[in-house]
Amino acid sequence: MKKVTKEVLKSNAEKLMFEMSDEDLDLLVNEFGVIQEQMSLIGEIEGVDETTPMTFPFDVTSTFLREDVASEPLDRELALRNAKDVVDGQIRLPKVVK
Amino acid sequence: MEFEAIIGLEIHVEMKTKSKMFSSGPVSFGEDPNTRVNPVDMAFPGTMPTVNKQAVINAIRVSNALHMDIDDTVIFERKNYFYSDLPKGYQITQQFRPIGSNGYLTIETSNGPKKIEIERLHMEEDTCKQLHSWDFSLLDYNRAGIPLIEIVSRPDMRNGEEAAKYVEKIRSIVTFLDVSDGKMEEGSLRCDVNISLREVGATKFGTKVEIKNLNSLNNIQKAIDFEISRQSIILEFGGQIEQETRRFDEGSKETVLMRVKTDAVDYKYFTESNIAPIKLSKEFIEDAIKTSPELAETKLERYKSFGLNDYDSNLLIADHDISNYYDQGVKSGCSPKLLANWIIGDVQSVLNRDCISIKEFKITPENLGKLVLLIESNKVSNKQGRDIFAEMVNTNEDPEAVMNKLGISQVSDEDELRKVIIEILDVNEQSIIDYKNGKGRAIGFIVGQVMKKTQGKANPALANKIILEEIGRR
């Protein structure tokens, strides 16, 4: 398991374009330390690598498929109510691509 | 050094379902921004995805047309990445168990037929549309969640022509199966090209360059041909190909650098836990295939069985909407051959003249079929048919009603016509003498007189026959 260090966190924060204070980094390194320690305990269980990961609590399948019927869309104002900056009915964001 | 290009294609096809892939949000194009979204599309907390049945049916039909193995268990994964085109922070896709796998299609190239293998076909959802300005981006979520199928070929193509033919064939399949309108210029069929060069005879692949967002068959061919020559020059001079993403610039007809790929992005795929695996019954899969619309190749065979030649058949199937129009018209019971002639000739010239598509053409296929029936049964001549057609183009009135309104009818009653011809021959002795002396053109004069007398209503073929009979008797 890759150890989560201050450097790893800093690099990820940079990729996601936000800054983290030393205090934040210390807090997260500490929290990840606890989580990783617990995970390593699971790693000690014999044969765990050969076990297929479970996504669902029960091994069941469904047959449900939704009929292709369109419903009424949201009212635009309602749909965009949480957006901070709306221009001409569109959400405006700082450009992050070249 | 001689190089060969190794080309693989990824095609995204936007389906024309009524609702979205994982929500009942409506799918329609050209609407005002953010007016076609529902809470699932916007990833509002607590919303849960449900799988669109028609999208699954469509994916089965395309997989079948591409001779693929169809997985009877539908499982989705989350592709995690952080970007504003994804409200959820992940895209629901099929990474590990695509619904279709190991298929192929055969393309016709200038060097003969070639089999292109297809690795996989999977379902996923489209992202939102972003409009980039110089310092900000605008987001329109109408497109977010529209069902997509992605078709990934194996790197079996070697030049621009083969790639363009491959895309053309995929486009024909998805449009004839009514899965998509397949319009590249509007983004409902999008194509990314992966291309690398290697020395002829080498087994190892060269460094791969991706060309994105090619919006026409022509541009696919041009972009690939340009890229082959660009990479050849670099390699020829001992340079190295960078792993990068490029786009085709319409103006300069060149590919230009978008970004250099550094480390591979890790999407941290894992099972979409909000959708339990869906088991498709054998009957469901078989029924989807059995009720599938006709493919272009099957239509072509059917048209040929009507007596249409290759050229005319291909003209009709070149446009899915025109071939559908033709199929509707044939149902009227008219001659398929005559109807094809009308569509390829008169209808097409109106479409060209008015710059409209067949969908905007006023005359319904049923009424065009009726008009052809009137001509076939000699109720009107071809020329009169054209007069009726000219009127119908603006009104889509019933052709028989137009015929009565314009007072058009063809005299096909033999006795009636014979009476008129005898009268004309009686006063045109000289023409009979001329004809008998070998002046074949004299007959034309008599026909002209018959038309004048009947105000153009005489059936020309019948008139000709009677004239010859009557002259023979004198």
Full pLDDT tens readout for chain B, 474 residues:
789 999 999 999 999 999 999 999 999 888 999 999 999 999 999 999 999 999 999 999 999 999 999 999 999 999 998 888 888 999 999 999 999 999 999 999 999 999 999 999 999 999 999 999 988 999 999 999 999 999 999 999 999 999 999 999 999 999 999 999 999 998 999 999 999 999 988 888 899 999 997 989 999 999 999 999 999 999 999 999 999 999 999 889 999 998 887 667 789 999 999 999 999 999 999 999 999 999 999 999 999 999 999 999 999 998 899 999 999 999 999 999 999 999 999 999 999 999 999 999 999 999 999 999 999 988 888 888 999 999 999 999 999 999 888 877 777 678 888 888 998 989 888 888 888 888 888 888 888 888 888 877 788 788 888 998 888 887
B461 plus B335 within the same structural domain: no
For residues B225 and B121, membership in a common domain is answered with yes
Whether residue B286 is contained in a domain is answered as no
| A96 located within any domain | no
Q: Are residues B23 and B172 in the same domain?
A: yes
Q: Are residues B151 and B253 in the same domain?
A: yes
Q: Which residues of A touch B276 (CB under 8 A)?
A: 56, 60-62
How many other CB atoms are there within 10 angstroms of residue B6's CB atom? 18
Note whether residue B158 is domain-resident. Answer: yes
Indicate whether A95 belongs to any domain.
no
Among A63, A65, A73, beta carbon nearest to B25? A73
Domain tally, chain A: 1
CB pairs under 8 A between A and B: 119
| Closest approach of A77 to chain B, Cα-based (Å) | 9
User: Cα(B376)–Cα(B7) distance, rounded to whole angstroms?
Assistant: 52
Q: Are residues B326 and B444 in the same domain?
A: no
Q: Are A70 and B26 an interchain contact pair (Cβ–Cβ within 8 Å)?
A: yes
In a domain? residue B287 = no
Tokens of B200: 């002829």
Note whether residue B36 is domain-resident.
Answer: yes
A38 Cα distance to chain centroid: 20
Domain span including residue A40:
6-49
Q: Domain holding B440: CATH number? A: 1.10.10.410
Nearest to residue B202, comparing CAs of B398, B393, B414, B4?
B4
The partner residue sitting opposite A65, judged by closest CB among B53, B136, B141, is B53
B138–A87 C-beta distance less than 8 A? yes
Same domain, B36 and B66: yes
On chain A, the residues whose CB falls within 8 A of the CB of B277 are 56, 61-62
This complex has an ipTM of 0.79
Domain finish residue from B405, B438, B459: B405
Q: How many domains does chain B have?
A: 3
Asked, for residue B288, whether it belongs to a domain, the answer is no
**Given B362, B379, B405, which residue is the final one in a domain?**
B405
Residue B468: give the domain boundaries. 414-473
Q: Are residues B308 and B352 in the same domain?
A: yes
Q: Same domain, yes or no, for B341 and B206?
A: no
In a domain, A12, yes or no: yes
Residue B333 backbone class (left: φ over 0; alpha: ψ -120 to 50; beta: rest): left
Residues B370, B423, single domain; the answer is no
In a domain, B11, yes or no: yes
Q: Are residues B121 and B262 in the same domain?
A: yes
As a whole number of angstroms, the distance between CA B195 and CA B224 comes to 8
pTM score, whole prediction: 0.80
Question: Do residues B21 and B125 touch, judged by C-beta distance below 8 A?
Answer: yes
State both tokens at A63.
């047959």
> Domain boundary at B278, B294, B327, which?
B278
CA distance B59 to chain A (A): 14
Instruction: Identify residue B175 by its one-letter amino acid code.
Output: T
Whether residue A93 lies inside any domain: the answer is no
For residue B394 the two structure tokens come to 């603006």
| Same domain membership, residue B366 and residue B253 | no
Q: Is residue B27 part of a domain?
A: yes
Q: Is residue B131 assigned to a domain? A: yes
